[in-house]
Amino acid sequence: MQAILSPGSLVTIAGAVLTVVGSIAYATDSPNLSLPTIFYGIPIFLGGLALKSSELPPPQRLTPASRFKALRDLPESEPLRKLLADVDRWRYGQKAHLESSLEVLKLWDEEAPPQLLTIEELDCDGRYGLKLCFRCEGVPLERWQAQAERLGRFFGPGLRADIQPGRRDEFSLALVPQPGAS
């Protein structure tokens, strides 16, 4: 259902509908309707197909959006709230979520970039945290673990990055508030 409601799908469907309506109007000799619908329908349809070809869906969200709303709205949760908003949307023309951030952190491989699979919100003793599950692809887990200290600082003040290996080539990155940090 999520793929049907993507912006690329909606533009493609709108363009296809306009093109079909225009074609039917042309076949039934209705020039007032056929000219604008075909004239606009075909480019919109092609634009939608171009969007679909470069579409990157948001990762699967493991916690409902309403579950940690109170924690998410705390002022100290702002960096993680922005991170969640960034990855929880459709992307176009990118190979992976957090592409520019991972490039800066030297956790990027152009041929096989790490893929963000899931995102989960956490309650860390009354403070807000995020857990991101990645597939390593071309960046080995050891390189992620070597950057763990920098990862926490990069995504926000007072955050600690905990990296836990998962099954096969997957791992989880938990961004949690450091004890005693405000």
* Residue spans of beta strands (DSSP E) within the chain: 55-56, 60-61, 91-92, 115-124, 127-135, 159-165, 170-177
Q: How far is the C-alpha of 118 from the C-alpha of 166, rounded, in Å? A: 13
Q: Do 40 and 77 belong to one domain?
A: no
Determine the structural domain holding residue 46 and report its residue range.
7-53
Beta bridge partners of 92: 55
Span 64-89, pLDDT tens digits? 888 877 777 777 778 888 888 888 88
Give the pLDDT mean for 153-179: 88
Q: Do 42 and 118 belong to one domain?
A: no
Domain boundary among 38, 53, 68: 53
Q: How far is the C-alpha of 59 from the C-alpha of 63, rounded, in Å? A: 12
Backbone angles phi, psi at 136, to 5 degrees: -60, -45
The pLDDT of residue 1 is 47
The pLDDT of residue 16 is 94
Q: How far is the C-alpha of 99 from the C-alpha of 13, rounded, in Å? A: 29
Residue 1: inside a domain? no
